[in-house]
Amino acid sequence: MPSMPSLRPSGGPSDRPRIPIPPARAVVDCAVYVDGHRRPGKWTHSGALKQVRSAGEGFVWVGLHAPDDRQMADVAATFGLHELMVEDAVAAHQRPKLERYDDTQFIVLRTVKYVEHESLTTTKEVVETGEIMIFVGDDFVITVRHGDFTHLAGVRRYLESRPDRLALGPYAVMHAIADHVVDTYLDVTAAVETDVDALEGAIFAPSGGVDIDPVYLLKREITELRRAVSPLTAPLQRLTSPENDLCPKEVRRYLRDVLDHQITVAERISTYDEVLSSLLGAASAKVGIQQNTDMRKITSWVAIASVPTMFAGIYGMNFDNMPELHWRYSYYILLVFLATVCVGLWRTFRRNHWL
C-alpha cells in the first residue's frame, strides 16, 4: 500500500541548521595590559592573546557575559581551557569552588544583590543571586558573568586607575573581583540586618497580630544567602595558602583580607539564621497564646449563652404541667433571673481575665 504524502512542510524549525553566533557577541570587553597599563585599540580574544605571546609580556583580560556552548568552545580552544571548566562556565548554577587544571585555575564566585522593598509582607524576594567564573592563567584572565547585576566595568576602571595593582598580573584581577564580590556581601548583609530588626520589633510588639509568613520568607532568603557565601571560605583559604605556587605572594596577602571579610559575612549570616529561628519560635508561641486567648473568650461567651438557651429549650417543649407556667409574673421573673445569671457569669469571667 503506498504511503500517504506528508502534509507537513519539510525543513521545519527542528530541521534547520543552527546559525552559529560569533564569540564576539558574548565578549563585553577585551584588553591587553602591559606593566599595568592598557594598550590602545580594539582586540579580539585570539588577536590579543597572539599579541601578548609574541611580545612575551603583559596579559589579556577577556570579559564574557552568559556565553553559549559554541561561543565558549571557541574561547576555550584559543586559550587551551579544559572541557570540564568550559562545561561549568556555560551551565552556570555552580557552588563556589576553586579548581586547578595544570597551570590554569578556575574559581566560581556567587554574587548577591539586595532587592529593595517597602515591606516584607509585600515582596516575594529579598536576595537575588548570580555568578562570576574566573579563569586565570600565566598570561590571561577570563571572566564569565551570569546575571543582570554582575557588571565588572567598575572593577576594570578601578584597576586601570591603579597600574601598580595590574602590574602584579592576572591574579591581581582575580583578587579585585573577589574583593568586589565580598564587599557586596557586606552591603547585602547590612541591609538584611535592617529587615531582621524590623521583624524582631514587630513580633515582640506588645499589641497587634503576628504575621508569621515574613519570617519564613526571610529565613528562606537567608538560606539562599548562606549557600552563596559560606562555601567560598575553602576556595579562598586554598588561594591564600603558601602551597598555591601559581598565585604571587603579594596577591596572596591581599586575598587574606578578602578571606577575613568573607568569614565575617558568614558569621553574620549564621547569626541572622539563629535570630530568625528564635523569632520563628517566638512567633509560633505568640500565635499559640493568641489562639488560647481567643478560645477562652469563645468558651466564656458560649457558657453565658447556654443559660438562656437551656431555659428556652425547657419551656419550649409544649407541656402543660410545668412550674409556674400559668402564673401571671413568671415570664418577667424568668427574664430577670436569666439576666442576673448571665451578668454574674460575665463578671466572673472578666475577673479571671477570660474576657
Beta strands (DSSP E) in 3-126 are: 27-34, 37-38, 59-65, 97-101, 104-114
Q: Report which DSSP code applies to 189.
A: H
Residue at 9 is within a domain: no
Q: Check pLDDT > 60 for residue 11.
A: no
Q: Check pLDDT > 70 for residue 208.
A: no
Look up the CATH number of the domain holding residue 328. 1.20.58
The reported pTM is: 0.78
Q: What percent of the chain is modeled with pLDDT above 90?
A: 54
Q: How far apart are CA 308 and CA 68, in angstroms?
A: 78
What mean pLDDT is predicted for residues 322-348?
Answer: 80
Same domain, 196 and 257: yes
Helix (H, G, I), strand (E, B) or coil at 146: strand
What mean pLDDT is predicted for residues 109-117?
Answer: 93
Assign 316 a pLDDT band (cuts: 50, 70, 90): confident
Same domain, 346 and 203: no
Final residue of a structural domain among 263, 287, 311: 287
Same domain, 260 and 321: no
Q: How far apart are CA 237 and CA 259, in angstroms?
A: 7
Residue at 201 is within a domain: yes
Same domain, 335 and 274: no
CA distances from 31 to 44, 239, 319, 344 (A): 9, 25, 105, 89
What mean pLDDT is predicted for residues 85-109?
Answer: 91
Residue at 11 is within a domain: no
What mean pLDDT is predicted for residues 56-63?
Answer: 95
Same domain, 124 and 263: yes
Same domain, 137 and 230: yes
Look up the CATH number of the domain holding residue 177. 3.30.460.20
Instruction: Give 267-293 pLDDT, tens digit per residue.
Output: 999 999 999 988 888 877 777 777 887
Final residue of a structural domain among 252, 270, 287: 287
Assign 7 a pLDDT band (cuts: 50, 70, 90): very low
Residue 94: exposure state from Cβ atoms within 10 A (0-12, 13-18, ≥19): middle
Final residue of a structural domain among 254, 269, 287: 287
Ranking 78-82, 99-103, 329-333 by mean pLDDT, the lowest is 329-333
Q: Check pLDDT > 80 for residue 12.
A: no
Residue at 165 is within a domain: yes
Assign 17 a pLDDT band (cuts: 50, 70, 90): very low
Domain containing 152 equals 23-287
The total number of structural domains that make up the chain: 2
Same domain, 221 and 111: yes
